[in-house]
Structure 1
């Protein structure tokens, strides 16, 4: 098991290295000059040249890439062109919003999807199954930013239960979680629809296996066979989707954070792109890729914990 995780970690490290090269090249070829953006179109050539020299933009691309990579390995992400602040501090401040928001949305998605998928699979072909599948189709087809606007209209403008945007900080944890509730729900509902469909399909497929028929022949009821045997084995594809959803929620909250004016990583990336603060964009994107690789490694480890057949196969 340890050797398997070491091999997977080495593979993911190479993937992360390749991702940093792709991110750097893509942002290098993007149009626009950060120095011109910061100084304005009316700035003199001398001022632009001086700022480019100050920001280190005149060095060869390979030299800048290696310096950026070496700095990240030391934990030094550089200094933002726009904020004149160490990027590590910016990321830490914004991660204090995006991290809890992602975990909140993932928890809501899982709590909704797994019971719904189990219920639909247990009542396959009946009215409850058809109703669940209908709601799943609506959830899959509905964009999360549209869900966010509906939630704002219903619970902020109408009922006034939640604020329409902003984040008060973690001085009062209850108020902070209250401010994250509508964004988390808007992120969680479409993902819960996808996870419900996967849970239902995996459970239906597992219930047709020979060992489930053997369990029924030994006297277990349908519900007992589902709970004791089928559910755990059906969790393998579900864990894959949960890992992918964590990565998507962390990286894909750009629109939601802008809808609710949340000072998270998504909003930081959006502002960095608009202001041509490329070093911020590169660092945040690399951090998101790192999060994806770590989640992938955690999912691989969870496979063996859930399914003992995988441990035996590896031995």
Structure 2
């Protein structure tokens, strides 16, 4: 508890600073924000209504305090474009993005763990060389290029999967078919990095005396990797997975736009294009809270992986 509390306090400070910075976004527009959004043809009544709706007469700290008070009551504001409550907009898009991200993380680990362990057990072997080449190709390929390549290969070229769009979960087959390409795009990009990191950590761990002693006692290779080497080698991997989950809401904009997935990323892209500040503010603050929460969970995971980490003083 003593080591978690400072992290919670730091996280809250970060969220408060992020909130005040987010509430200053309308002020960054050139001139009057109301005129910049509504145009010069807007009537004084329209400008006054816009200013009142966004509380633009208040300073960023005051705007954040007002927004936070309303948010705690379930009111995130009203979209300037659709006229719907922002909570409704976010609530309808959030499950889509969560499903996309969770499925991609599961596939990422399903690829990373066996490939990294097999490569680390025999460095320079056939599996290691093939995995290294593929990893470097994927790392050097931007996500949007990989997504377009998968569309050409699996949708346009062979018509195995739909190129874009989304299907309701009430039709499981169609839903899964639309889910494959965006999940594969995210998973392959992340797995390439994680595989290289975990492989390097496993090789270093496998050279330690206690692993060599376990190997001399005739412990099977996979049992040695899974029960002895994987746990102390997973700190960097857990960190990267946590960062990937925390930053995924920002990174999902590109993938969701390419595959026309109606998630949080696409909602953010549309809101930015339309200068829909209530939606933008809610998404930015939600993403920031996600990053802080995942960061704290990663710190807790360190203590589970290695109990000695629980006794490291917080800084």
TM-score, normalising length: structure 1? 0.90
DSSP 3-state at the match of 1:150: helix
The aligned counterpart of 1:216 is 215
Deviating beyond 6 angstroms after TM superposition, the runs of 4 or more aligned structure 1 residues are: none
**Correspondences of 1:190-205 after superposition (within 5 Å):** 190-205=189-204
- Alpha carbons of 1:143 and 1:193: their partners in 2 closer, same or farther (altered >3 Å)? same
**Residues 3 and 310 in structure 2, CA contact (< 8 A), matched pair in contact too:** no
- Alpha carbons of 1:267 and 1:203: their partners in 2 closer, same or farther (altered >3 Å)? same
**Residues 104 and 183 in structure 2, CA contact (< 8 A), matched pair in contact too:** yes
Q: 1:120 Cα shift?
A: 0.8
2:67 pairs with 1:61: no
**Residues 30 and 36 in structure 2, CA contact (< 8 A), matched pair in contact too:** no
Q: 1:192 Cα shift?
A: 0.6
**Correspondences of 1:104-183 after superposition (within 5 Å):** 104-183=103-182
Q: 1:54 Cα shift?
A: 4.7
In structure 2, distance between residues paired with 1:67 and 1:215: 60
**Residues 11 and 292 in structure 2, CA contact (< 8 A), matched pair in contact too:** yes
In structure 1, distance between residues paired with 2:66 and 2:311: 45
In structure 2, distance between residues paired with 1:135 and 1:158: 22
In structure 2, distance between residues paired with 1:237 and 1:44: 54
TM-score, normalising length: structure 2? 0.90
Q: 1:65 Cα shift?
A: 2.7
**Residues 34 and 277 in structure 1, CA contact (< 8 A), matched pair in contact too:** no
C-alpha root-mean-square deviation of aligned residues, in Å?
Answer: 2.2
The aligned counterpart of 1:308 is 307
Q: 1:225 Cα shift?
A: 3.1
In structure 2, distance between residues paired with 1:199 and 1:32: 51
**Residues 112 and 191 in structure 2, CA contact (< 8 A), matched pair in contact too:** yes
Q: 1:53 Cα shift?
A: 4.1
In structure 1, distance between residues paired with 2:32 and 2:73: 27
In structure 1, distance between residues paired with 2:226 and 2:80: 55
The aligned counterpart of 2:88 is 89
In structure 2, distance between residues paired with 1:38 and 1:51: 13
Give the total of aligned pairs. 312
Q: Extract unaligned runs of 5+ from structure 2.
A: none
The answer to which of 72-81 and 182-191 deviates more is 72-81
**Residues 95 and 264 in structure 1, CA contact (< 8 A), matched pair in contact too:** yes
In structure 2, distance between residues paired with 1:96 and 1:26: 27
**Correspondences of 1:271-290 after superposition (within 5 Å):** 271-290=270-289
Q: 1:200 Cα shift?
A: 0.2
**Residues 254 and 267 in structure 1, CA contact (< 8 A), matched pair in contact too:** yes
